[in-house]
Amino acid sequence: MNLLIQDAGRYYREHFGEPTLIVRSPGRINLIGEHTDYNEGFVLPASIDNAVYVSIGARVDDQIQLFSVDYKEFYKGSSAAISVSLQSWANYVLAIVDVLQKAGYHCGGFNAVVRGDIPIGAGLSSSAAVECATIFALNELFGFKLDRMSMVKMAQQAENEFIGVRCGIMDQFASMFGKANQVIELDCRSLSYNYFPFESAEYDLLLINSRVKHSLADSEYNLRRLDCEAGVAHLQRFYPNITSLRDARPEHLQQAFHSLDEKIFQRCLYVVEEITRVKEACEDLKLGDFITFGKKMFSTHKGLSELYNVSCPELDFLVHFAAGHKDVIGARMMGGGFGGCTLNLVKKEALADFITGISEAYLESYGVLPEAYPVTIDEGTAVVRSS
Ligand code: GLA
């Protein structure tokens, strides 16, 4: 059995008795479509084999008692009075209790143990995984009968309101709806989606973790959203039918540019181009045209770095190195930005050589050895053990 499930069960038994169930929620990658979700565009994520495990059981009183195996810390509080904790890991659980209760789903007291192997601050959505595991586990434990999409929306709301990051829907959606070996094309406006296999005999997906933790990311992330909203408000003066950047074309931006702040123009241009790029990239993948797909990854990185300004020198270095390697056909920073991982599309037989080369070069420039994780696309949120 998976060691992390064992840990989640063992620590629960040690502190609280027998858990009622254990839920697994994975982290995610996103092949293309960055910062498009909150602009009602398209994204192409997949859930991965790194995950968070939450073991849980009800209590007779209204207490919430949590233990994090990774932080080796306890949290104790009451479900009747949820407030932000100084223990940041506990907030992702509390955020879910808060959102559920505000929507009328009463949570009694419960114990939970949290264990995971998603690198924190690496852009692989460890926080969304904790939120999804918690809401799935509470839904089972207290019989709320919420469907997956409702849980995704509530987990996103929890992140927006309790944590204060105005994230889009992608991370919680990918963690909840992922399927082994499938990527998901999600329309973030209609929330319609379809799965298709990511299969290549020739290329592998590889994550390189810059190990720069994206500490700036939350505040800068919210600022990017404000920039997009300012862009839409401006465009609406010329084109009243534009309600989000999903509706805008580069021509609209050019037309409105003379009175649009240059920074806002660049942000909007990146988003508008990226939304089109995702649609085209999905077609490339469906046709098995990895070379054209890979080129789009480089274009996305350029846009994120030069127009959207969410990269950092370390991520630019990693992508630049990848671009110069003959067996890497695509690379870009992934997720919110300001640190975390790059995603690389690499010829299978060149993986070892590429990892050695990029690790040595990065170590020499930044004094840090990056981590390399080959990607395995795995199942989304599920109960992995119940008593
Ligand atoms: C973070 C957010 C997502 C998405 C990405 C950028 O991961 O949580 O909603 O906006 O950044 O694509």
Q: Is the CB of 370 within 6 Å of ligand 1?
A: no
Compute the distance from residue 59 Cα to the ligand 1 centre, in Å.
35
Test site for ligand 1: of 30, 35, 38, 172, most ligand atoms within 8 A of the Cβ:
35
- Ligand 1 nearest atom to the CA of residue 168, by list position: 9
For residue 218, what pLDDT is reported? 78
Q: Is the CB of 355 within 6 Å of ligand 1?
A: no
At 292, is the pLDDT very low, low, confident or very high (cuts 50, 70, 90)?
A: very high
38-55 confidence digits (pLDDT tens)? 999 999 999 999 999 999
Q: Is the CB of 113 within 6 Å of ligand 1?
A: no
pLDDT over 70 at 215, yes or no:
no
CB 48 within 8 A of CB 375: yes
For residue 216, what pLDDT is reported? 56
299-349 confidence digits (pLDDT tens)? 999 999 999 999 999 999 999 999 999 999 999 999 999 999 999 999 999
218-233 confidence digits (pLDDT tens)? 789 999 999 999 999 9
Catalytic pick from 171, 247, 284, 378? 171
Chain mean pLDDT for the chain:
96
- Ligand 1 nearest atom to the CA of residue 30, by list position: 12
pTM of full prediction above 0.95: yes
Nearest to 343 by CA among 94, 27, 81, 1: 27
Counting residues of the chain whose pLDDT is more than 90, the rounded percentage is 93
Q: Is the CB of 335 within 6 Å of ligand 1?
A: yes
Average pLDDT over residues 73-83: 96
Distance between the two ends of the chain, CA-based, in angstroms? 16
**Catalytic site includes residue 171:** yes
- Ligand 1 nearest atom to the CA of residue 43, by list position: 12
For residue 369, what pLDDT is reported? 98
pLDDT over 90 at 257, yes or no:
no
- Ligand 1 nearest atom to the CA of residue 37, by list position: 10
